[in-house]
A = this chain, B = another copy of it.
Amino acid sequence: MPLARRTEVVIIGGGFGGLYAALSLKRAAVNLTLIDRRNIHLFQPLLYQVATSGLSPANISSPLRAILRKQANVRVLLAEAVDIDADNRKVVLSDGELHYDYLVVAAGSENNFFGRPEWEALAPGLKSIEDATEMRRRILLAFEAAERQPDPEERERLLTFAIIGGGATGVELAGALSEMAHRSLARDFRAIRPDTAKIYLVEGGSRVLATYPEKLSTRAKKDLERLHVTVLTEHLVTNITANGVELKSKDNETRRILCRTILWAAGVKTSPLAGVVARISLQTPEKDGRVAVQKDLRLPGQDNIFVIGDMASFMTDTGEPLPAMAPVAMQQGRYVATRILDLIEGRQSKPFRYHNRGAMATIGRAAAVADLHYVYLTGPLAWLVWLFVHLLYLVQFENRVLVLVQWAWHYFTFNEASRLIVGKDVLPLLKKRG
């Protein structure tokens, strides 16, 4: 074996894209460095269950080091990439730098408030563990404050919830929140009836789950209405205040939802590193920050930088970009691993192709919609498929067992136990809101 310097591969981000790239390079004779600002891989598809007290943060988090423990060619570093020096092949960290031969940028996305960053404090999004525990805190405190509120008007505001955005996250949040109000919290209060809570799901477009087949959107809306969720499609949010949400309908009619809890699920934009990537590729990023990539996921004009996952805008043969979804990121991670090995060995590669195995979303207990590409599923069957697939992709075996135990428990007892309000300033918040 020659004693040549090993190829240095640096991966930025330990989400689905970055992690699957690292795992797929398991047997490669390269030096791999995976950097992330967090020490965990977060299974984001179940984040909404943390927000609604169904699961604990640790159940959907796996320490990156633990996942990659046995993979000798990788080191994990807790670090933040702030810039890329493409000329000198260096990632600039907030506290140092790293040389690379090949760079995989998979830094993901964050909540998008569409130019209204001041809305974030009033309507938290759902991208991180902290986002989820903040949502959980607001939901639980709203019920607590309502229990102590003598004024019926204010009590009603406290028991009204608006979820902005009718994509998968919004639909799943709305369903789970309704089940909290109607089942797990139903008998826990004395002065209020949680099942009188009003839950609004606000969507600007003409239907929920816009990327799904129309039949499934219709079914999802029906399932949500069965759970007492008011679905407002074709309503745009014009303002968010401490007193609620202001909306404008397609016909230019205005409407206000008076409420104290607003949850944001209206969309994401790329992490700031996408701006750096766009700059070194001399391109203008898309509105949501995504950067165009070539057929092999390399950045145009850069032979050894790949961009994958939520940050990448990959144009399919049909002329539509791939959605920002976990399965896309996972497949791109795997592809990039083989592509890097091909480049090292001077081999040709086929261009990246996304194998669409479908999409699915739950709508509460024993209800879901699943577009399996060749067949549509709804109701309990879709829900079972959803359970199975999500358990399968959870990274650690222990988490699978713990999640399964809790799902079984909730299913049979209607009781969601992770109803934990954390944070030192619980009472001031209650006072402010009560």
Please list the residues of chain A having a beta carbon within 8 angstroms of any beta carbon in chain B: 37-40, 56-59, 61-63, 65-66, 69-70, 75, 77-80, 94-96, 129-130, 133, 140-141, 144-145, 147-148, 185, 187-191, 396, 398-399, 401-402, 405-406, 409, 413, 415, 417-424, 426-427, 430-431, 434
Contact A39–B419 (Cβ < 8 Å): yes
Residue numbers in B under 8 Å from A38 (CB-CB)? 421, 426
Give the complex CA separation of A387 and B173 in angstroms.
37
Shortest Cβ distance from A33 into chain B, in angstroms? 10
Residue numbers in B under 8 Å from A424 (CB-CB)? 130
Shortest Cβ distance from A77 into chain B, in angstroms? 6
Give the complex CA separation of A190 and B371 in angstroms.
43
Contact B75–A191 (Cβ < 8 Å): yes
Copies in the complex: 2
Contact A130–B423 (Cβ < 8 Å): yes
Q: Can you identify 27 A-B contacts, CB atoms within 8 angstroms? A: A39-B144, A39-B420, A39-B421, A56-B56, A56-B58, A57-B420, A58-B420, A63-B420, A65-B185, A65-B189, A66-B417, A69-B187, A70-B187, A77-B148, A78-B426, A78-B427, A79-B427, A80-B427, A95-B430, A95-B434, A96-B148, A130-B422, A130-B424, A133-B422, A398-B405, A398-B413, A402-B406
Residue numbers in B under 8 Å from A402 (CB-CB)? 402, 405-406
Residue numbers in B under 8 Å from A417 (CB-CB)? 58, 62-63, 66, 396, 398-399
Residue numbers in B under 8 Å from A423 (CB-CB)? 130
Residue numbers in B under 8 Å from A426 (CB-CB)? 37-38, 78
Q: Is the interface of A mostly helix, strand, loop or mixed?
A: mixed
Give the complex CA separation of A95 and B428 in angstroms.
10
Shortest Cβ distance from A128 into chain B, in angstroms? 8
Residue numbers in B under 8 Å from A78 (CB-CB)? 141, 144-145, 147-148, 426-427, 430
Minimal Cβ-Cβ distance residue in B for A39: B421
Contact A59–B56 (Cβ < 8 Å): yes
Residue numbers in B under 8 Å from A148 (CB-CB)? 77-79, 96
Q: Which 8 A-B pairs have the closest CB atoms?
A: A65-B188, A56-B56, A58-B418, A78-B144, A75-B190, A63-B419, A56-B58, A398-B409
Minimal Cβ-Cβ distance residue in B for A80: B427
Give the complex CA separation of A398 and B409 in angstroms.
7
